[in-house]
Chains A and B, each alone.
Chain A
Amino acid sequence: MVDTTVSTTTTSQQSQSLNLLKVLGPAHIWALGVGIVLVGEFMGWNYAAGKGGAFGALIACFVSGILYTCVAKIDSEVTSTVASAGGQYAQAKHTIGPLMAFNVGLFMTLTYLMLNAGDVLVAGQLVQIGAQQLGHDIPWQPFTVLFLALLTLLNYRGVLATLTVNFVITAAAFLSIIILFIGVKPWAPGEVLLHKELLTPLPYGWIGVIAALHFGMWFYLGIEGTCQAAEEVRSPGRALPLGTMSGIITLLIAAAITWYVACGLMPWEYIGWDATLAPLYDSARMTGSPFLIVLLFIGTLLSAIASSNGCTNDQARAWFALGRDRYLPEWFAAVHPKYRTPFRSILFLTPIVLVFALYIPLAQIITFSILSGLLNYTFMPINMWNFRKKWPVGSIRRGFSHPFHPLPALTLLILCAATFFAVYLGYGRQLLAMMAFYIVASLWFAFYRYRYVKRGAQFTMPWPKPVGY
């Protein structure tokens, strides 16, 4: 645990303020991004197979992979320059304006909060499933509450320990996927993997493929979370692009292996409607190897814990950043004097996660998380466009400049539109309800809360005036 008190700051300016600690490196950024996402390889993506068959899921995996590669490139450039807690929120207030920033802050908080609730719910249920397989019936609720308590405590007591733990458990979960891949002998097609027999043409045509895009996001949902740690990174210009880009590469590899293994062992009809929620675990069961079965059970559990841990970290940073600029009450912007964490934001959001985990169905929670994430991705191309237009390359120091602009931003915008259509096909009412929620929140911000915002002071980057101003 990091134990640094106010008195350790050296300059007079710093002794007046209590800031988050800069202790993280590229490995922690990798652990944050991949840790949040990897659970999507173990469960969730499989519903894409239910919508579009095995090949539909593969196309969704590729298309979503391109979408998130664009997200990672854009985030790497902007965050390496706007290295502040709140990630995309801090970007939005600098490049677009307060109302967009408020919405982006809400999108991110709710994306991570809902995903967190889903993660701890699944972690508790996995313990229950494990006990049932040993012949004991136990409730899942105490384990869900215990996981949430432990991860909240970890986050409360310091970011370095939080993300070091995440690095270990995320690496272990990723390793379990690699070992499963080796265990199914990919060098001997037909021996264990039966792609020839199991792969069928698209069962619902191309409309099924488009519908599958909704769940293809699961392979990568949350990689943009690396930006939330920007203020706590020792060298943002180096660590953020390195951690984010290596994270998306890890996820592209994990997603390809996951699809290849699961679709080579089980028919798409089963994968698509997997009642046990965990297709990789089921793949291990199909091999009949007790070692792989235990390993993938542990890997699935670790992935859910790592995701919840990362989400607890990110949801608190987004909420904290909104409070610091008084988009929300400033009370939330308090930093713990000993642990240097946003302790009020961490504690305030935990009971909300708990209520959603215990009382709201998993499908509803996850849908809300995906939709909020998708709205955040739609903001990114506009953000990138404005950023390059107002501060062209060379006008300010960037940690990373992504190539081929505006191609990634345009691609991201088009893929977001396609994914919105896919979501509308399956969850049209939820999409409209959520849009209504954000419109009401925006009205509250514009007509009431904005009067409290630190208007000039919120623009903290030491940049020249934007081009055209």
Chain B
Amino acid sequence: MWDIVANVAWVIAAAIFLWMAWDFFVINAKYDENVLVSSREGLDELLPAGDQSTAKKKK
């Protein structure tokens, strides 16, 4: 019974890694690279855009 548990662990782990790999390739194919790497330090979505002018100007 415990051997089955160990094998099930391998199968679940493999399935999880395969799903993440699939999602990874789908996202990379679907979105433009400039969009994916567009994150900017110092921008706060909770603040109005006007309050973040300093951070924006430095880009």
Contact = CB atoms under 8 A, between A and B. Distances in A.
Nearest to A154: B16
A142 B10 contact: yes
A11 interface: yes
Given A136-B2, A149-B13, A462-B55, A14 B43 contact: yes
B40 to A, nearest CB: 5
B49 A347 contact: no
Contact of B41 (A85, A148, A337): A85
A324 B41 contact: yes
Contacts of B37: 324, 330-331, 333-335
A145 B10 contact: yes
B28 to A, nearest CB: 8
Nearest to B52: A13
A138 B6 contact: yes
Interface string A324-348: 1100001101111110000110010
Nearest to A13: B49
Interface string B39-53: 111111110110010
Interface residues of A, number: 53
Contact of A150 (B1, B5, B16, B42): B16
Select the residue from B2, B5, B33, B41 with max chain A CB neighbours within 10 A: B41
A457 B5 CA distance: 52
Select the residue from A143, A145, A149, A343 with max chain B CB neighbours within 10 A: A149
Contact of B27 (A11, A325, A331, A343): A343
Given A11-B48, A459-B58, A335 B24 contact: no
Contacts of A148: 13
A14 B45 CA distance: 7
A68 interface: no
B1 to A, nearest CB: 8
Given A145-B9, A146-B12, A457-B58, A156 B41 contact: no
A97 interface: no
Interface stretch (A18-26, A279-287, A427-435, A443-451): A18-26
Given A17-B39, A337-B31, A337-B36, A142 B6 contact: yes
Interface of B: 1-3, 5-7, 9-10, 12-13, 16-17, 19-21, 23-24, 27, 31, 33, 35-46, 48-49, 52, 54-56, 58-59
